[in-house]
Amino acid sequence: MDATLIQLLLPLGVLQLILIVIALIDLRKIDETNGPKWMWVLIIIFFNFIGPIIYFIIGRRT
Amino acid sequence: MQWSTIFKKELTEHWRSFKWIWVPIVFIMFAIMDPLTMYYFPIIMDSVGNVPEGATLDFPTPSVAEAMIMSFSQLGLLGVLIAVVVSMGLVSKEVKSGVYELVLSKPVSFTNYITAKYVAALMLIAFSLAVSLLVGWYYVNILFGTISLVQITVSILFFIVYFMMILGIVMLFNSFLKSQGLVAFLSIITVVILNVISSIYSHVITWSPTLISDYINMYFYSGQLETEIWFSTVAAVAITVMCLVIATITLKNRAID
Amino acid sequence: MTLMSVEQLTKTYQSTTVVNELTFSLEPGKCVALLGPNGAGKTTTLRMLAGFIKPTKGEIVFNEERFSRDVRHYVGYLPQYPVFHNWMSGEEFLTYVGQLAYLTKHEAKAKATELLELVNLSDAKKQRISKYSGGMKQRLGIAQALIHDPKLIILDEPVSSLDPIGRREVLNLIRELKKDATILFSTHILNDAEEVSEEILLMHKGEMIKQGAISEVSETQGTTSIHLSFEEEPKFIEERLKEIDSVFKVNREEEGFIVAVHDINIARSQLLDLIKHEEWELTRFEIGKTSLEDVFMKAVTE
């Protein structure tokens, strides 16, 4: 692994982290989700990248 | 004044549901995913090390143009999907939940209601496209070679025009359907059909808006902008305006229950 | 001087006529109740008056020349089940709809504060609406109807979904409001109408079957009710009572019967004759004041 690789992948990791954090904040704030909340916590944390997106698209109920 | 009230409310709603954060991030991921994997593919294969004895692996490194086109085509597929999903409830959700009845009881003009919502959604998507493609461009520049700022900016602007039409189509379905899922489904079907038809008859309907991405690709290869892209742009704008006008009229004549 | 006059208002969906040729007028400063059972066409009528569904036929005239604009500028409307943007706070929502009704942001904010005070939501104004209770939402709904100082306030079933305390609060609020504005509200509960309104419009199956001041409607009906109780319930009493020609309806109550009659004097002697003849052991014979219930039952069953 060279330095450029880390430089290029680091931002990706940061973005992913931001995505997870805002999804969790939103999950905490929101009143109702489609399906139980604990399930969404697991999905958001363990399914890299896809998890938070899926949550934002189908998890939120307004 | 009423227009900006609705417009600001939409921006706030997008902001509070974190759309202004997650949509750009997701778009960025789409934009850099392919160039990154293509560049590091040989290294990844090497480290896996399952190459059979004697087999020579030859991965041609993509050209700068090819790498940049990957970003665009990824957004042309998954980005369109996200754009549709993000805007599928703009009107249909309000009608279904019943907020629409309260809004309607105030002297709200249908044109303001439709266009303010539309422009707010377009801003979100245009911003996400611009940011993600600039990040993609940055990665491509580091990994594959140079593309000029002018070229990428011009391409992004044309690409936004394509998305403008897609949001117009989504808005049209919004105006008479209650189910968000159905809005998304029909919008995507429509876009797919438009794409298929235009690629079959691409020599006949050279002005088709769905060919914009093809013209952008050619621009990256040749450095020359095709004249047809201007016709496609005009067609995209025309279709958008038509969609919005029909959406306004449909909503106006729609019975509420 | 009438505030609004309605002529031959009709709404047809496909082949069903939901509202059929309503003609009436609203006087300023009055509180009018639109009464009728569920499905009578009340909501459709109110939506047409509020200016957001088009009548199939007929005319709604807002009787002042300066009211030539969209009537929604002058009408405040509360839907039967008000739904809000739940992600907003009560204050934000009021400010938003105020601006939709062409108030400036500053005016809308000031008016919102004033109304939140009026409907007793000042403490919760920064809270997200999703946290509000049903009664709080109903009061917020009334506040949003008032945001642009409407000349006419239209409330669709404002109290029917509320618990007794919420109902009391809202009825008091209506009493407060009618000092400055004309109110038209629909209900299927007769008590509510009797309690706060001066006039009633009675609808049934899309038609207007009675209208006028409460006192007038009761009188013109010429009906009265007689309450009867007995030591022991006589056999076939309902049938026997119905045989009397001045009786048009017999309702079984917990303690006896309420008999609605056309002419009180005739009915009194006829009933007493029957009771005497049958030797029923009467424990109560009371001539009651006509309630709206009687009017309503009579109009609907006729």
3 state SS for chain C = CCCEEEEEEEEEECCEEEEEEEEEEECCCCEEEEECCCCCCHHHHHHHHCCCCCCCEEEEEECCHHHHCCHHHCEEEECCCCCCCCCCEHHHHHHHHHHHCCCCHHHHHHHHHHHHHHCCCHHHCCCEHHHCCHHHHHHHHHHHHHCCCCCEEEEECCCCCCCHHHHHHHHHHHHHHCCCCEEEEEECCHHHHHHHCCEEEEEECCEEEEEEEHHHHHHHHCCEEEEEEECCCCCCHHHHHHHCCCEEEEEEECCEEEEEECCHHHHHHHHHHHHHHHCCCEEEEEEECCCHHHHHHHHHHC
**Is the CB of B5 less than 8 angstroms away from the CB of C100?**
yes
Lowest-confidence range among A35-39, B62-66, B92-96, C263-267? C263-267
Q: Which token pair is C118?
A: 């009026």
pLDDT above 90 as % of chain A: 44
**Is the CB of B103 less than 8 angstroms away from the CB of C87?**
no
**Is the CB of A56 less than 8 angstroms away from the CB of B22?**
yes
Q: Which token pair is B248?
A: 């306004």
Looking at the predicted structure, is the pLDDT value of residue C189 above 90? Answer: no
Q: Which of C18, C19, C72, C100 to mutate to test the interface with B (most CBs of B within 10 A)?
A: C100
What residues contact B213, with CB distance under 8 A and at least 6 apart? Answer: B72, B73, B76, B159, B162
Q: Give the separation between CA B18 and CA B37, rounded to whole angstroms.
A: 28
DSSP secondary structure code for residue A40 in this structure? H
β-sheet bridge partners, residue C140: none
Q: Give the separation between CA A61 and CA A49, rounded to whole angstroms.
A: 21
Residue of B nearest to C14 (CA): B255
**Contact yes or no for C74/C88 (Cβ under 8 A):** no
pLDDT above 90 as % of chain C: 32
Looking at the predicted structure, is the pLDDT value of residue C215 above 90? Answer: no
Q: Which residues of B touch C51 (CB under 8 A)?
A: 105
Looking at the predicted structure, is the pLDDT value of residue B54 above 80? Answer: no
Longest dimension (CA), chain B: 77
**Contact yes or no for C170/C124 (Cβ under 8 A):** no
Quick one: how far is CA C43 from the chain centroid?
Answer: 11
Sketch the domain layout of chain C as residue ranges.
4-218, 222-301
pLDDT in tens, C5-33: 888 999 998 888 888 888 998 888 889 99
Question: Average pLDDT of A14-32?
Answer: 92
Q: How many CA atoms lie within 13 A of B31 on its CB side?
A: 22
Range 33-52 of C in CB contact (< 8 A) with B: 47, 50-52
pLDDT in tens, C244-273: 888 878 888 777 888 888 777 888 888 888
Per-residue pLDDT at B52: 64
Highest mean pLDDT among B120-129, C8-17, C188-197: B120-129
**Is the CB of C87 less than 8 angstroms away from the CB of B17?**
yes
Neighbours of chain B (3+ CB pairs under 8 A): A, C
Question: Average pLDDT of C65-76?
Answer: 78
Per-residue pLDDT at C108: 96
Per-residue pLDDT at C64: 65
Residue A62 contacts C, CB cutoff 8 Å: yes
Check residues B193 and C226 and name the one with the higher pLDDT. B193
Query: Total domain count for chain B?
Result: 1
A-B contacts at Cβ under 8 angstroms: 41
Confidence of residue B244 (pLDDT cuts 50, 70, 90): very high
**Is the CB of B143 less than 8 angstroms away from the CB of A26?**
no
- Reported ipTM: the value is 0.91
Å between C192 CA and nearest CA of chain B: 24
pLDDT in tens, B132-146: 999 999 999 998 989
Check residues C183 and C249 and name the one with the higher pLDDT. C183
Residue B145 belongs to some domain of the structure: yes
Confidence of residue A60 (pLDDT cuts 50, 70, 90): confident
In CATH terms, the superfamily for domain C4-218 is: P-loop containing nucleotide triphosphate hydrolases (3.40.50.300)
Per-residue pLDDT at C262: 78
Question: Average pLDDT of A5-22?
Answer: 89
Rounded to whole angstroms, what are the CA distances from C258 to B212, C221, C249?
Answer: 79, 17, 8
Q: Which residues of C touch A62 (CB under 8 A)?
A: 86-87
CATH number of C222-301: 3.30.70.920
Residue of A nearest to B20 (CA): A22
**Is the CB of C87 less than 8 angstroms away from the CB of A62?**
yes
Rounded to whole angstroms, what are the CA distances from B227 to B200, B204, B213, B215, B232?
Answer: 20, 15, 14, 9, 9
Per-residue pLDDT at B115: 97
Residue A12 contacts B, CB cutoff 8 Å: yes
Quick one: how far is CA C159 from the chain centroid?
Answer: 10
pTM of the predicted structure, to 2 decimals: 0.86
pLDDT above 90 as % of chain B: 80
Confidence of residue C65 (pLDDT cuts 50, 70, 90): low
Å between C50 CA and nearest CA of chain B: 7
Per-residue pLDDT at B40: 81
Per-residue pLDDT at A1: 52
Question: Average pLDDT of B140-156?
Answer: 93
Residue A53 contacts B, CB cutoff 8 Å: yes
Highest mean pLDDT among B44-58, B184-198, C22-36: B184-198
Domain range for residue B160? Answer: 2-35+61-253
Mean pLDDT, chain C, rounded, equals: 86
Residue B40 belongs to some domain of the structure: no
Quickly list H helices, B17-88.
19-48, 64-74, 80-87
**Is the CB of B29 less than 8 angstroms away from the CB of A22?**
no
Per-residue pLDDT at C212: 83
Å between C132 CA and nearest CA of chain A: 12
